[in-house]
Structure 1
Amino acid sequence: MAWYHNYFKGLPQRAWKLHQDEEYTDYEVDFLRDVLEIKEGSRVLDMLAGYGRHAIPLAEEGCKITCIDISSEYCDELKAVSKKQKLLLTVICDDVLQCAIEENAFDAAYCIGNSFSFFPRAEMQQFISKMANAVKPGGHITIHTENLAESILPNFQVRNWMPVKDDIIYLAENEYRPEEGYIEAEQTFISGSEKVTHTVRQHIFTLSEITYMFESAGLQVVGTFGNLEADPFALGDEQLYLVAKKL
């Protein structure tokens, strides 16, 4: 069983949510609306949706959103919000690699939030192909990652820590394994007397490798950006926003 099956619950899940910047999320939603060319009535797929920080605003604007995530806690929260606000939002609580997704049914799809490093090469190709198969020809797909090789390796940190809201402390011990192409991290979350530790694997790909996998899935990469202002991605940029179009 992969690490992410049991990671997003309890203290790590709460820390991830508290770490998000609402204003930045609003900018990401604006970015998604523009690059995915979506509008009221568009049918959109959110892969690894979390608690719906992008899906909910888009659904509030009248988009028909399908969210897939493996965390039952996030999915329950998202279902409750959807029911309360009467949104056109469907929640599928499952492993994205295992669940069935309707083909050629969505106007657009996205995976935003640095989840685009959970899978080794073969499974990553499967993940990208599932997104591609779900989108109608001519539809757009956007992904985000902070774990691109060109981003993380030039300034690789063996140890790092940061405070999170509600007095949560996050610590990580990182080891890069070049033969396998992943970073294995021992992540620890501390809040008062509570302490939770997980071993996490983040798979590292170059932009060239990701482009090849997108093209192999029948997608044309039309933009690679280092920020939400759509500046072209360059070596050392901390993150990548990639936009592709289904041929």
Structure 2
Amino acid sequence: MKWYEDDSLWSDFAPTMFSPERAESVAELVATSPLLRFPPGSRVLDLCCGPGLFLVPLAGQGFDVTGVDLSEAMLDRARSACEEAGADVRLVRADMLTYTAPEAFDVVLNMFTSFGYFDDPEDNLQVLRNAWKSLAPDGQLLVDAMGKEVLAGWIGRPQAVDLPDGSYVVQRDVVFDSWRKLRTDWTLVRGTSARTASLTSWLYSAAELHDLFVAAGFAEVECFGGFDGSAYDHHSRRLIVRGRKK
């Protein structure tokens, strides 16, 4: 079983990855980001939607929203969040490597560094091709990633996150394969027990991810340093790549 297929991993570490504070910041992003301003009624796919942090605020903006994820545990959380908020959202359990819905969407989003999971680089390219196929003409794909250039500024420093129940998570990132890949090691400490997990993914520079978009068929590919639409440079905290289907 691949690490991303382990539902217990997502359940155990969800409080760290998807905290209430993060949900609040996502809602603010959707309300204010120029990159997330789409025409009224746009059909938006959140690919690898997780527990639905983007789904609820996107639906609140009046978009026709679909969330796709492989994890049933995450979809259960997303379903509960949407029901609690009264958000009308379609949820689909599917693998991003194979999921397509030809010309069904105007926007495809892939957030929280949810790209680059597959060992074979051709599989990761296929994910972008699937997104291209799923977009209507002039539709757009946005991928939110941790770029190599950003990671180089703080790699190697362990981080600890305290959880409300008194447990805590220690995260350590390790770059390997000549800066091609990233391994994130998580340790959840709860009382006298500890749970560990390792996530591995491909690591991309802005130029590399830009070129993958082009190889998948996208045009007008742009790289941004944040959801404010700023330029991608040495001050950036994220790498946002956007391409259009022409």
- TM bin (shorter chain): 0.7 to 0.9
Give 1:93-242 correspondences, 5 Å limit.
93-98=93-98, 100-120=99-119, 121-146=121-146, 148-157=147-156, 159-166=157-164, 167-179=166-178, 181-235=180-234, 237-242=236-241
In the TM superposition, residue 215 of structure 1 has moved relative to its aligned partner by 0.7
With over 3 angstroms needed to count, the CA separation of the structure-2 counterparts of 1:134 and 1:211, relative to structure 1, is same
Structure 2: give runs of 5+ residues left out of the alignment: none
Count of matched residue positions in the alignment of Structure 1 and Structure 2: 243
How far apart are the structure 1 equivalents of 2:230 and 2:85? Answer: 36
CA contact (8 A) 1:44 1:106 kept: yes
| TM-score normalised per structure 1 | 0.87
With over 3 angstroms needed to count, the CA separation of the structure-2 counterparts of 1:53 and 1:123, relative to structure 1, is same
Moved more, 163-172 or 57-66: 163-172
Structure 1: give runs of 5+ residues left out of the alignment: none
Give 1:43-54 correspondences, 5 Å limit.
43-54=43-54
The DSSP-based 3-state class of the residue aligned with 1:143 is: strand
In the TM superposition, residue 19 of structure 1 has moved relative to its aligned partner by 6.8
- Provide the residue aligned with 1:30 in structure 2: 31
CA contact (8 A) 2:55 2:65 kept: yes
In the TM superposition, residue 63 of structure 1 has moved relative to its aligned partner by 1.5
4+ residue runs of structure 1 moved beyond 6 angstroms? Answer: none
CA contact (8 A) 2:15 2:163 kept: no
How far apart are the structure 2 equivalents of 1:109 and 1:194? Answer: 40
- Provide the residue aligned with 2:70 in structure 1: 70
With over 3 angstroms needed to count, the CA separation of the structure-2 counterparts of 1:242 and 1:168, relative to structure 1, is farther
With over 3 angstroms needed to count, the CA separation of the structure-2 counterparts of 1:63 and 1:173, relative to structure 1, is closer
The DSSP-based 3-state class of the residue aligned with 1:138 is: strand
In the TM superposition, residue 53 of structure 1 has moved relative to its aligned partner by 0.9
Q: Percent identity?
A: 19
| TM-score normalised per structure 2 | 0.87
The DSSP-based 3-state class of the residue aligned with 1:9 is: helix
CA contact (8 A) 2:55 2:82 kept: no
In the TM superposition, residue 37 of structure 1 has moved relative to its aligned partner by 4.5
In the TM superposition, residue 235 of structure 1 has moved relative to its aligned partner by 3.2
- Aligned-pair Cα RMSD in Å: 2.3
The DSSP-based 3-state class of the residue aligned with 1:115 is: coil
The aligned amino acid for 1:183 is L
- Provide the residue aligned with 1:57 in structure 2: 57
In the TM superposition, residue 79 of structure 1 has moved relative to its aligned partner by 2.1
In the TM superposition, residue 49 of structure 1 has moved relative to its aligned partner by 0.4
Q: CA-to-partner distance for each residue in 1:113-165, whole Å, 9 max, x for gaps?
A: 2223423421210111111111111111111112x1111134321x5022233
